[in-house]
Structure 1
Amino acid sequence: MVGIDIVNFPNTVLIVDDEPIVVQVLQRVLPRQGLRVTSVSNAEEATGVLQRENFGCMLVDKNLPGKDGLVLISEVRKLQPHCACIVMTAYASTASAVEALRLGAADYLEKPFHDIELVAEKVRRAIEHQRAESDRARFLERLREFESELDKKESEVSQQRTEIEMFNEVLELRVEQATRDLKAERDELVKQLDGGTSRQNAEIVGVEMALMLLEDLQARPGLDVAPFRGELQRVVRQLQAHVRRLRGDQAA
């Protein structure tokens, strides 16, 4: 099948008829509708032309020599599905008309033509209808492609969302673990600091009590500490310096 550009849908008509007078009349009238015309006299020639060129419509005589028009229509539906087919016959019957329409014919005309201009108008309308159907098919195809791409994107987004959720779960667990570790370290540090402060406080209290005892001894009436005063004062100074050092450590 020859490829077709839907935007430039062919305004060409293939006439398949072995009656020269019919072909001549149609070749004279159809161009008035802006249509280009090609004609052959049998189905075999028509098949060859259809394999080389696109057509918007085929006017085919039902009773052709050799392969008849209805068989040709079934072949055209495979070669060029976009091509509208109109059957012409001098021996019309309901059965043949139904069969033609069943095979995909767009219309059914009796010969001789009573209104040749009406025939030309039917051909033009058939082409316009096929053009609209082709545009619709192209739109549906693009819609399916868009839906397929959308499904693909949604799948990718869903996968990314799952990965993000998993990452957030891992991150949350790590944050919780880090928080527990930091709390444990803080508690241990506080414990150590509290323990050290308590020991320092106890030591300060002990030293201060010793200082108070020495001061009490020096001030006690009747107790002669003169021989030991120098030594007592030295001890007092050492204890006072020790207290200042301990308090300095606490402040730091």
Structure 2
Amino acid sequence: MKNIYYRMGGEFLGTFWLVIGGCGTAVLAAMFGGTGNPLGVGLLGVSFAFGLSLMSAIYAFGHISGGHFNPAVSFGFWVAGRFPARELVPYILAQVAGGILAGGTLYWIAQGAVGFSLEPGVAGSFASNGYGELSPGGYSMGVAILVEVLMTSMFVGVILAVTDNRALRYVAPVAIGLALVLVHLISIPVTNTSVNPARSTGVAWVAGEEVLDQLWLFWLSPLAGAVLGGCAYRLFGGSGRQ
């Protein structure tokens, strides 16, 4: 088994790529050229960018670290009995560090454009997550909690199922990536889609104080969803082996 520092490196790089690919598309390409410009990729493009980023990261680094790239996924694997508790903190630290570096790198790129501004307090600013006034669709805190818990539980459940030793695991990255696309298509209007505390933290520290004040929800809700996903996997016959 590869040592913990080697695996942390895989998690760091994979999370960095996920945040750069997904959030980078949201910041740089979603509305490129302004409203109505055909070059802008919009909600559909951002959703696929997150899915493709995750899929490619799993293919690239999954054999090194297992391809979590998300504290909620690591937590869900632990709940399911497929990840050791002693490695939770190192993995989460590596994931958050990768997300933060990606957020800083993305800011450095974005501010190179003439007229760039962060627009603090605006929903979705710098691909940030939020509820209430910071929700793209103006959804309440309660609805945001429900959506993040539900989406994370289903997402973690899919990951656990398709990486089970009885599944067709060589196609698992495709299924996981497409699951993340679907999660984004559903929940971007509500919270701008987190289901990943490292992704949320990676851009929140750049996006401003208002976003940081709401960051707690995008840690607690995905972790709660991970517990539900992990428990459901065990309840419905998960093997407990990776």
TM superposition score category, shorter chain reference: under 0.3
TM-score normalised to the size of structure 1?
A: 0.23
Higher RCO, 1 vs 2 (CA within 8 Å, ≥6 residues apart): 2
State the TM-score, normalized to the length of structure 2: 0.24
